């Protein structure tokens, strides 16, 4: 299994027989090198979205058309795009599981918001979500954008993820302190990878506090397009 950061909350996940682009915001992302776009999307089989905000979903339609692959995510959002934009979509909802090339992806709660930009203001885009991604004898918890939730208790106990990809930049989501608290209280992670940080000055720039707060856990600060073997 191989994970490559695309900056912000975007990742490329090579797992089982799938290559999943997670929240792949590249156009206008200040930390993503535009000249490496082809490398980032090569061989992709699915696009997985946590919610509709532009820093997660802005490239989804263009990539779906260019690569002729489905957008996977909240039913309300992706089936709207399927009907209105003619793309392929796999829409489901919290508690549901879909098979993406042998990887089992279960939608779980997050606590945030979800909308698209409209000419008269925000447009409803279903609700926000996280995912448990099971494959190659491992389970990854992808938090999506969220704050600490009591739901994390049952999610950790039921799904037992050993790898956490956690939003940790603060302001719009958990910060490093909150992400560390959630990881300690609700999960038994072997590896934690922070995201939704370093993109803008408004967000946290270092995961040092997260690492210091999780002794015995491997906290990996990702670098853009540097593969992490999991």
- Over residues 23-78, the pLDDT tens digits come to 999 999 999 999 999 999 999 999 999 999 999 999 999 999 999 999 999 999 99
* Per-residue confidence (pLDDT) for residue 193, from 0 to 100: 98
Distance CA 159, CA 148 (A): 17
* Per-residue confidence (pLDDT) for residue 159, from 0 to 100: 98
Q: How many domains does the chain have?
A: 1
First to last CA, the chain: 5
Residues with Cβ within 8 Å of 223's Cβ and at least 6 positions away in sequence, in order, are 5
Distance CA 74, CA 111 (A): 14
* Per-residue confidence (pLDDT) for residue 63, from 0 to 100: 98
Distances (CA, A) of 98 to 106, 126, 135: 7, 18, 12
Q: Is 115 domain-assigned?
A: yes
pTM for this prediction = 0.98
176: CATH: 3.60.15.10
Phi (first) and psi of residue 66, to 5 degrees: -65, -40
* Per-residue confidence (pLDDT) for residue 151, from 0 to 100: 98
Q: Is 167 domain-assigned?
A: yes
List residues bridging with 131 in a β-sheet. Answer: 107, 142
Q: Is 80 domain-assigned?
A: yes
Parallel, antiparallel, or unpaired for β 97-100 and 228-229? unpaired
28 SS3 class: coil
| C-beta separation of 226 from 4 below 8 A | yes
Q: Is 10 domain-assigned?
A: yes
Interval 119-173: pLDDT, tens: 999 999 999 999 999 999 999 999 999 999 999 999 999 999 999 999 999 999 9
| C-beta separation of 38 from 21 below 8 A | no
* Per-residue confidence (pLDDT) for residue 207, from 0 to 100: 98
Q: In what side-by-side order are the strands of the sheet with 191-195? A: 97-100, 103-109, 129-135, 138-142, 163-167, 191-195, 218-219
Range(s) of the domain holding residue 36: 2-225
* pLDDT > 70 in the chain, percent: 100
Q: Is 230 domain-assigned?
A: no
* Per-residue confidence (pLDDT) for residue 67, from 0 to 100: 98
Interval 196-212: pLDDT, tens: 999 999 999 999 999 99
| C-beta separation of 165 from 142 below 8 A | yes
């Amino acid at each position: 299994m191989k994970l490559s950061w695309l900056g912000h909350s975007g990742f490329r996940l090579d797992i089982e027989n799938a290559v999943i682009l997670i929240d792949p915001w590249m156009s206008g992302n200040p930390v993503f090198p535009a000249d490496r776009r082809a490398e980032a999307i090569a061989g992709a089989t699915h696009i997985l979205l946590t919610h509709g905000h532009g820093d997660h979903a802005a490239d989804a339609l263009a990539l779906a058309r260019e690569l002729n692959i489905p957008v996977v995510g909240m039913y309300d959002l992706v089936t709207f795009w399927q009907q209105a934009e003619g793309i392929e979509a796999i829409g489901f909802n919290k508690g549901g599981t879909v098979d993406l090339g042998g990887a089992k992806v279960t939608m779980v709660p997050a606590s945030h918001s979800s909308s698209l930009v409209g000419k008269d203001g925000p447009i409803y885009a279903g609700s926000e979500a996280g995912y448990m991604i099971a494959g190659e004898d491992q389970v990854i918890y992808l938090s999506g954008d969220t704050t600490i939730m009591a739901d994390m208790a049952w999610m950790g106990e039921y799904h037992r993820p050993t790898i956490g990809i956690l939003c940790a930049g603060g302001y719009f989501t958990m910060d490093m302190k909150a992400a560390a608290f959630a990881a300690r209280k609700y999960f038994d992670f072997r590896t934690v990878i922070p995201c939704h940080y370093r993109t803008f000055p408004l967000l946290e720039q270092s995961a040092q506090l997260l690492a210091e707060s999780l002794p015995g856990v491997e906290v990996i600060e990702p670098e853009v397009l540097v593969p992490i073997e999991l």
